[in-house]
Amino acid sequence: MKIKLVCFYFLCCNLTNLGADKIMCQLPVDYNTRRNNDLALINSLVGVIDSLQNVESINLSGNNLKEIPTVLSLFSGLKVLDLSNNKLISLDTLYSLASLEVVYLLNNRGLKMEEIVKLADALPNLKIIR
């Protein structure tokens, strides 16, 4: 019997780094939330994320991210991404996410309008909510 994990949450756990060795589960996931954890580095999830190509929605809001983790470019099916309440200044990592439809960018005070316009031009089907 094949199990399909629909979602998993890491909310308000005070995590500072979430490595691939900490997650033993490599199941298909439709929705993934790591919110309000003060994650400064999540690129170490590559080993797990390689098997999560079906993820359509990720919530990384409230994690004090200064940059978007490059590992997000592996989510080829990603449609919705919540990056609200972080400290982002660049959106460059998102240009490779052709299936991205919605991105939430509320309360990223360092993010300039030029960055948002550049992303909208690069991904014409994207609806940016700020």
- For 20-48, the pLDDT digits (tens) are 434 434 334 444 555 555 554 455 555 55
pTM equals: 0.66
Describe the chain by its helix, strand, coil percentages, rounded to 5: 25, 20, 55
> What's the pLDDT tens digit per position in 106-116?
999 999 999 99
Nearest to 44 by CA among 14, 69, 13, 10: 69
What's the CATH number for 5-129?
3.80.10.10
The pLDDT of residue 73 is: 85
Nearest to 93 by CA among 114, 127, 122: 122
